[in-house]
Structures are given as structure tokens and as C-alpha cells.
């Protein structure tokens, strides 16, 4: 009996050890690059690289990729979710706010958590969710009715549910949250409804709010002077793409969206801080360390809703902590992420609104390019030179990869608009030759409408190393791997592998669904997979 | 119907009938232009992002022709606009009653909104010209007669204003939709293929070829590939102004029969 008890005890201890191992502690998240078999944060690692260290799939064998499984979502809405994979289990979301745990090897489902969305949710552009965060055994999801929920990763049971803003006023959470230490950080969407944007941190265990940083400064706060009269009260400044984190500097970085009303800059003359800006915040207190504004007094809906990519490089002979940012306004920036100072910048797509950037990185606006009631033809268009979909950085090639919209213009014009809480507060609209955001399956657009390209940019020069030209525009994020394979997709529904060094096409598969998400890579039982959300489904590919 | 607490059903129907002339059997009443402008402004700020400026950007939905995914009365439309459609990207919209009326009134006249007045001739003579002198059926199709090379015009009157037809007859390329472009391709074996472009992506193009076959071409197999303009000839000189006016009068009659309104009218896109 004694021996048996001991055996059982040892067994229990072993199980407990395994369970402890399975917990995704902060150390694992912070050192995610040491676990290339997993994909534990939105961008794979906290620096926003969307780069996998796995090397089984190579430029030589990528032609042997095949579909391993497909998961059909129970939703007619487009998936923009970037999955997480932890120790063989994939966690992905389907619209509006369901979480699915599935076997990353077979695609079979373990459980589904269905969040009941309140009927007063007022999203501008579809019931979008871009994914989850994990800490310990808990998953975190923002909802389109502006709640943050914590769900047990083992069984999908709700642990806590915190209302963080009023959905009826246009607040919504679309981004995957970011975990830093013991806190879950999210920002709010609602930039088309005249909200006051914010980034807020919540205790991962309880859901209690720890701090909140408003992206539109109120009376008495620095930056308030950039808003005339009471315009700040509807200043927008939403956040809808996950930020990044530098553990050495203990700073978290976020991109802020457009000012409100979107296309009527004359009613809010001034820089309109902190819209269209990068923010560096202390993750423990929410204190603003620095900001850099890409587009002062924006009138084109050019959200800085991009993932801030953190890169350490030798620059002019000295090591620098930098931030790379291809912005919706058409310029590609290199910033010093310690100070927020401008290092260099240049257009990466055709633009006609600025003569360039001054020594501080501020755009030198050309006259007669302000959006007005008469309308002005603007490059890039309102969708921008790029948008929310993730770029990628490869430390092997030293190149920054981004999905760009080339030769895309819009005739943007202003109309008067009255603010009503929860209502659209856009003040105009861009008339465009471009395909619609939710363009149908059939594409008959011509070259005059612009097109998508995957660009490999050299941060030192801002120049294109290569470009892969697509017929349609793109909303697909980019993944690179340590074997120099680049994965991305297209609106046309292709998922493809390119040579990250040259842009040569190595392989492609037709998913037949618009790809509006970022690829991830993971490994189960020694086999590398690449997964992508495409329209209503998640696809996983691996070598034959 | 949601936050503002809309009035009762009877009041609603009376209100809508006054706006649109539909739903009570009454003759359409003149809509206040200012109300249409309000509707157009609301459409521009709330609807264009998803539905597109022409109301046809969502598959199986065409706001100009009243084509929805299911049959919708004006009252249904109000519900859809104010409450949204769960399970789809259609959001709830916080509009006042007057704004809802204005938006629906605009949707009903969207096709003609802003169009110039065009003098209409005799539709009977126009049909004879369409089928005879102008040889329209050699490319187009109406009620299962004619060719597949150009767009099927069976319900074109529901989508296009008389002004749009006039512009097309005078200068076809000025109004040609990207979907009606002709392509010319030469395969690596030297075969020349022409046709109407139905769909295109980075690697392939789908066409109705000159022999009315549905053909898919793989771009890596092509030696040459070009997208050309509209193949339609101008009728500026070949028809008189009176003949064009008759032809337009016929074209605007090409609408779905009332029984088909909103049901089973899936249009080829």
C-alpha cells in the first residue's frame, strides 16, 4: 500500500509539474523566441516582428507544402483573427466574439466559448476581432461591446468580465490584448464615432482596472491646446491594433488612430494630439514617456493603427534601439524608441500631400492638399499606403516587409457633421476608384484603381529591395521565418510563400476566401505548420 | 425602434407612404428634395464604406435595384438599418425617425439621384431600333434573347438612369464598368484569345470569350495580355437624336416584373 501511495503521489506530482509547465508565465511570454514551436502573442514575440525561428520549411522545399486541415468557422463574417498556439493547442476567435480551442495538429475542436454581445454594440466596420492574449492558464479577449473577458484556457469557462467603456457610445475592442507582466492592456476602437480613445491596463487575475491613458488630452493636460474649443470631446484617437513591449526599457508602444471627424480637419484646426501618433507608455503606471505624431491634423483617416516593430540595429556605426513603422500616410519611418526622436523617413508609396519630412519627421504639407468641401485628389487614398495588417522584420535579411497599396488615390471631401453619441462622426467620405473594403469575390478592377504589393524595404535607405506585385489590393499580414521564407496572402484568396531574399514565388494555394489576417507558424510533434485565417476559415499547411 | 422608441406601426406606415409612396397603394408623392439630400448625406457617411457609392459592393445586394438577401418591405428596411443584422457586418445605426425616412427615400431614388433630365421618346420604336438598326442583341441579351458578349440588359432599367443610358450611347467608354472590359491575350502557342473579363487575380483571368464560352486563362501561360476599353461602338453618328431618345425610352422599361421584386432576382455580377 505504501509503495502504491508513493507511486500515486509521484504521479500526482508529475502531473502537477506538467500542469505548471503548461502555464504560460510572464517569463515564457517575455522569452517567446526561445519557444519557436509556440505562438503565444499576437505578433509571435513582444517586439512585433511576426518572425518565426522555425526552419523546417525552406525556399527549397516550400513547393511541397500541402493543406493539413481546415477549420470552418460558424460565422458568415470575415475572420481577422491571428491565432495563438500553446503546446499543441490553437486558440482562435470567430466573429463576433467566440473563442475556439482546437488541436493544432488536426484542427479538431476541444471547446468553444461563445460571448453574448450586447445589442447596443456600434461598430463602424464589421464585427471584427483580431485575437487573444494568454497568461498562465487564462485567455483574454476584448469584445465589440467594449468588455474585456478572461476565459479558462483549459475548458473555456468565463473567469471574469469587465465592462471598460459604453458600447452605445461607439466604444468597441477589436484588437488582441497585450499582456505585460501581470497586466492585460487593450485600447478601444470607435474612431468613426467621436469617442475619446484610451489605452487601459487591467489586473490579469481580477479584471480590475490598473490605469488608463486617454489619447485625447483633457483640459489642463499637455496637448490639450492642440484642440480648439470643445472639439477634443469628440476627438476619437482610437486604438485597434496590438502594441509591442521592450523589456529592457520597460516601455510599451502603441499606434493611435484618426481624429474625429475623420474628413473634416477644418473644424479641429491644430495638431490634434495624440491622434495618428506612436505612444511610449510605462506599462506599470500608464505614464506617457514620449509621443511621435506622424500626421498632424489628419483629414484622410490615416490611423497609425500599425504594429510598432522594435529592432536593435547598428546605425551610423553605433548600436541603436529603433522602431520601424510603415505608416498609413505613405511614409516609412525609423524612430529612436528610447526617446521617440525621428531618425529617418521616406515615402514607400506614391504620395502627393507632403513635400517631405523635416528634420523632426514632421510632414511638410503642400499647399492645396487639405481635405475640404471642394474635395482634393489625394495619394495614398483613405485606406492608406498600408493599414492595420502586420508587417514583418527578418533579422537575417535585415529587411522590413509590408503589404502596401500602390497608386491608390481618393477624392476626399468634407461635409458638416453634428456630433451625436454613438453615431457615425466622419464629416465626409473619400470617393475612390478603389475596391471596397468588403469587395465581392469577383474582381474586375483595373490598374487605374491601384493594386497591392508586398514590399521588402531596407530601413537604412527606405528603398525597396524587391516588390511582389499583386493584381488586387491586400489586407494580409506577413510572416517571415529564419529559413528566409515569407508567407502572406491576398484579397484574391491566395496564400503564398515567397523567398524573403528575392521575392520569388515559391508556392501558393488558393483558399478562395479574402485573407485579412496575419500568418503564424508553430510546430507539433516535430513538424512545422503555417496557419492563416481566410474569410470564414482557418487553414493549416505543412510539408508533405 | 431601438433607442429613440419609434412610434406605432400605423404611424410608421403612414409616414413611410408619405415618403416613398409605397406600402399603401397610393400614388407616389413628390419627395422633398431636401429630404433626399439628407438621405444622400446619411448614405455617404454611414453606408458607403461597406455598400460602396453605387450600393452594389456587397454580394447579392444592390441598393439601387432594391435587391437584398431577402425580401424587405420599407418597414423591414427600417428595422435592418436601425437594429443591424446579427451574424453579418451590418451594424445597428442610431438614427432618428426623420433620418430613417430620408435614408429610405434616398435608397428608392438612388439610381436617379443627381441625374439630369433626359427626354424620352417612344419605347415601342426604341425596341425596334434596339433589335434592328442598332444591332444591340449582337452583343447584349434581353429576356433570354441575344448574345452573351456584353452585359445582360434584362433589368438594366432598374440600375441605370436615362442620363446614364444617354452617356453610354454617346461615349460608351465614359460609363463602362471595369467588369465590362475586353481582354486580348496571346498564349505561348500563339493562339489569340479575346473576350469580356469576368474576374481576374494575380495568376489567372476568367472571361466570356468571343465564342461565348466561359474560359479561364493562366497568366504564366500567356505571351501577351492586355485589358482593352469597352468594345461598344458610339451611336453618336449612327443614330439620330430622336432614335436615341426612343432607344432610351425602351431601355428604362427594362425592369423586373413587379412579382419578382425583391425575390429570386439574383443578378450576375
Q: What is the rounded distance in angstroms from the CA atom of residue B181 to the CA atom of residue B175?
A: 11
Tell me the chain A residues in contact with residue B198 when contact means C-beta distances shorter than 8 Å. 442, 444
Cell numbers linked to A229: 474649443
Cell numbers linked to A189: 476602437
Cell numbers linked to A81: 483573427
Q: A536 with A79: CB under 8 angstroms? A: yes
Q: Any idea what DSSP says for residue B231?
A: -
Q: What is the rounded distance in angstroms from the CA atom of residue B232 to the CA atom of residue B193?
A: 18
Q: What angle do CA B18, B23, B24 make, to 5 degrees?
A: 75
pLDDT reading at A123 higher than 90 = no
Tell me the chain B residues in contact with residue A493 when contact means C-beta distances shorter than 8 Å. 201
- A129-138, A432-441, B6-15: segment of lowest average pLDDT: B6-15
Name the H helices within chain B.
Answer: 9-20, 33-42, 48-51, 74-83, 97-109, 123-131, 156-159, 162-170, 172-175, 241-251
Amino acid B31: pLDDT: 67
Phi, psi of B169 (to 5 degrees): -65, -35
Q: How many CA atoms lie within 13 A of A446 on its CB side?
A: 15
H or E element at residue A30: helix A26-30
Does A470 sit within 8 Å of B202, measured CB to CB?
yes
Amino acid B13: pLDDT: 41
Query: Smallest Cβ distance to A429: which of B44, B58, B95?
Result: B44
Give which of B88, B94, B99, B195 to mutate to test A binding, by max A Cβ within 10 Å. B94
Can you spell out the DSSP letters for A156-202? --EEEEEE-S-GGGT-B--SPPEEETTEEEEE-B-TTTT-B-EEEEE
Tell me the chain B residues in contact with residue A122 when contact means C-beta distances shorter than 8 Å. 91-92, 94
Cell numbers linked to A113: 466559448
Does A121 sit within 8 Å of B45, measured CB to CB?
no
pLDDT reading at A497 higher than 50 = yes
Kindly state the average pLDDT of the residues A151-169.
Answer: 96
Of the two residues A454 and B263, the one the predictor is more confident about is: A454
Does B201 sit within 8 Å of A490, measured CB to CB?
yes
Q: Any idea what DSSP says for residue B242?
A: H
Does B57 sit within 8 Å of A436, measured CB to CB?
yes
- A259-273, A316-330, A371-385: segment of lowest average pLDDT: A371-385
Catalytic residue among A145, A246, A301, A472: A301
- Provide residues of B within 8 Å CB-CB of chain A: 2-3, 41, 44-46, 48-53, 57-59, 83, 87-89, 91-95, 177-181, 197-203, 227, 269
Q: What is the rounded distance in angstroms from the CA atom of residue A488 to the CA atom of residue A528?
A: 16
pLDDT tens for chain B, 269 residues: list them: 233 333 333 344 444 443 433 333 333 445 677 788 888 888 877 787 778 777 877 777 888 888 888 878 888 888 888 888 766 677 777 788 888 888 988 888 887 787 777 889 999 999 999 999 999 999 999 999 999 999 899 988 888 888 889 999 999 888 777 777 889 999 999 999 999 998 899 999 999 999 999 999 999 999 999 988 888 999 999 999 999 999 999 999 998 876 544 444 444 43
Amino acid A498: pLDDT: 98
Tell me the chain B residues in contact with residue A429 when contact means C-beta distances shorter than 8 Å. 44-45, 48-49
Amino acid B229: pLDDT: 81
pLDDT tens-digit map of A89-98: 999 999 999 9
Q: What is the rounded distance in angstroms from the CA atom of residue A389 to the CA atom of residue A490?
A: 11
| Residue whose grid cell is 479561364 | B216
Query: Smallest Cβ distance to A438: which of B46, B58, B202?
Result: B58
Kindly state the average pLDDT of the residues A389-407.
Answer: 97
Amino acid at each position: 500500500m505504501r509503495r502504491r501511495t508513493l507511486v500515486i503521489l509521484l504521479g500526482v506530482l508529475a502531473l502537477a509539474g506538467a500542469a505548471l509547465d503548461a502555464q504560460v508565465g510572464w517569463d515564457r511570454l517575455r522569452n517567446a523566441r526561445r519557444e519557436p514551436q509556440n505562438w503565444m502573442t499576437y505578433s509571435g514575440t513582444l517586439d512585433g516582428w511576426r518572425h518565426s525561428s522555425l526552419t523546417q520549411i525552406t525556399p527549397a522545399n516550400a513547393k511541397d507544402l500541402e493543406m493539413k486541415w481546415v477549420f470552418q468557422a460558424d460565422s458568415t463574417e470575415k475572420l481577422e483573427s491571428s491565432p495563438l498556439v500553446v503546446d499543441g493547442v490553437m486558440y482562435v476567435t470567430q466573429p463576433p466574439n467566440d473563442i475556439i480551442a482546437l488541436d493544432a495538429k488536426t484542427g479538431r475542436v476541444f471547446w468553444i466559448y461563445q460571448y453574448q454581445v450586447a445589442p447596443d454594440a456600434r461598430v463602424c466596420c464589421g464585427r471584427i476581432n483580431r485575437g487573444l492574449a494568454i497568461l498562465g492558464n487564462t485567455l483574454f479577449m476584448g469584445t465589440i461591446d467594449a468588455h474585456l473577458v478572461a476565459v479558462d484556457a483549459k475548458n473555456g469557462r468565463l473567469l471574469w468580465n469587465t465592462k471598460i467603456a459604453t458600447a452605445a457610445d461607439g466604444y468597441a475592442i477589436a484588437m488582441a490584448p497585450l499582456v505585460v507582466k501581470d497586466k492585460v492592456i487593450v485600447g478601444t476602437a470607435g474612431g468613426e464615432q467621436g469617442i475619446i480613445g484610451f489605452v487601459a491596463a487591467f489586473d490579469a487575475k481580477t479584471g480590475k482596472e490598473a490605469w488608463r491613458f486617454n489619447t485625447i488630452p483633457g483640459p489642463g493636460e499637455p496637448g490639450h491646446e492642440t484642440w480648439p474649443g470643445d472639439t477634443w470631446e469628440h476627438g476619437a484617437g482610437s486604438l485597434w491594433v496590438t502594441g509591442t513591449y521592450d523589456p529592457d526599457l520597460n516601455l510599451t508602444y502603441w499606434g493611435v488612430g484618426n481624429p474625429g471627424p475623420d474628413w473634416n480637419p477644418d473644424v479641429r484646426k491644430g495638431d490634434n494630439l495624440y491622434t495618428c501618433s506612436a505612444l511610449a507608455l510605462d506599462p506599470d503606471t500608464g505614464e506617457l514617456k514620449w509621443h511621435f505624431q506622424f500626421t498632424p491634423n489628419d483629414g484622410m483617416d490615416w490611423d497609425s493603427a500599425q504594429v510598432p516593430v522594435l529592432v536593435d540595429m547598428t546605425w551610423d556605426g553605433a548600436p541603436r534601439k529603433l522602431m520601424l513603422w510603415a505608416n498609413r500616410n505613405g511614409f516609412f519611418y525609423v524612430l529612436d524608441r528610447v526617446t521617440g526622436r525621428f531618425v529617418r523617413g521616406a515615402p514607400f508609396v506614391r504620395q502627393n500631400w507632403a513635400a517631405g519630412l523635416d528634420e523632426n519627421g514632421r510632414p511638410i504639407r503642400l499647399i492645396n492638399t487639405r481635405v475640404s468641401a471642394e474635395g482634393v485628389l489625394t495619394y495614398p487614398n483613405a485606406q492608406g499606403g498600408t493599414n492595420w495588417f502586420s508587417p514583418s522584420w527578418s533579422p537575417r535579411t535585415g529587411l522590413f516587409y509590408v503589404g502596401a497599396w500602390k497608386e491608390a488615390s481618393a477624392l476626399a471631401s468634407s461635409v458638416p457633421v453634428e456630433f451625436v453619441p454613438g453615431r457615425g462622426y466622419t464629416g465626409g467620405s473619400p470617393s475612390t476608384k478603389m475596391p471596397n473594403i468588403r469587395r465581392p469575390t469577383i474582381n474586375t478592377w483595373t490598374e487605374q484603381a491601384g493594386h497591392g504589393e508586398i514590399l521588402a524595404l531596407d530601413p537604412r535607405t527606405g528603398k525597396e529591395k524587391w516588390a511582389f506585385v499583386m493584381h488586387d489590393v491586400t489586407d494580409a499580414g506577413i510572416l517571415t521565418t529564419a529559413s528566409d521564407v515569407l508567407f502572406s496572402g491576398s484579397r484574391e484568396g491566395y496564400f503564398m510563400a515567397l523567398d524573403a531574399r528575392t521575392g520569388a514565388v515559391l508556392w501558393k494555394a488558393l483558399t478562395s476566401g479574402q485573407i485579412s489576417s496575419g500568418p503564424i507558424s508553430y510546430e507539433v510533434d516535430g513538424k512545422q505548420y503555417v496557419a492563416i485565417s481566410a474569410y470564414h476559415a482557418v487553414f493549416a499547411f505543412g510539408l508533405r | 425602434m431601438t433607442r429613440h422608441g419609434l412610434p406605432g406601426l400605423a404611424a410608421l406606415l403612414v409616414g413611410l407612404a408619405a415618403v416613398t409612396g409605397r406600402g399603401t397603394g397610393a400614388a407616389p408623392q413628390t419627395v422633398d428634395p431636401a429630404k433626399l439630400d439628407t438621405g444622400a448625406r446619411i448614405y455617404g457617411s454611414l453606408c458607403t464604406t461597406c455598400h460602396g457609392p453605387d450600393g452594389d459592393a456587397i454580394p447579392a445586394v444592390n441598393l439601387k435595384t432594391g435587391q437584398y438577401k431577402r425580401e424587405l418591405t420599407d418597414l423591414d428596411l427600417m428595422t435592418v438599418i436601425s437594429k443591424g443584422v446579427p451574424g453579418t457586418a451590418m451594424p445597428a445605426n442610431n438614427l432618428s425617425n426623420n433620418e430613417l425616412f430620408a435614408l429610405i427615400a434616398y435608397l428608392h431614388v438612388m439610381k436617379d439621384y443627381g441625374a439630369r433630365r433626359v427626354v424620352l421618346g417612344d419605347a415601342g420604336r426604341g425596341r425596334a431600333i434596339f433589335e434592328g438598326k442598332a444591332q444591340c442583341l449582337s452583343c447584349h441579351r434581353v429576356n433570354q434573347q441575344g448574345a452573351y458578349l456584353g452585359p445582360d440588359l434584362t433589368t438594366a432599367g432598374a440600375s441605370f438612369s436615362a442620363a446614364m443610358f444617354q452617356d453610354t450611347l454617346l461615349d460608351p467608354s465614359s460609363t463602362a464598368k471595369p467588369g465590362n472590359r475586353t481582354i486580348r491575350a496571346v498564349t505561348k502557342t500563339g493562339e489569340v484569345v479575346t473576350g469580356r473579363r469576368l474576374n481576374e487575380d494575380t495568376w489567372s483571368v476568367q472571361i466570356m470569350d468571343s465564342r461565348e464560352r466561359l474560359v479561364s486563362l493562366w497568366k504564366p501561360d500567356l505571351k501577351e495580355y492586355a485589358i482593352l476599353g469597352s468594345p461598344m461602338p458610339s451611336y453618336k453618328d449612327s443614330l439620330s437624336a430622336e432614335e436615341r431618345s426612343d432607344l432610351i425610352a425602351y431601355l428604362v422599361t427594362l425592369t423586373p416584373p413587379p412579382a419578382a421584386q425583391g425575390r429570386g432576382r439574383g443578378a450576375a455580377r
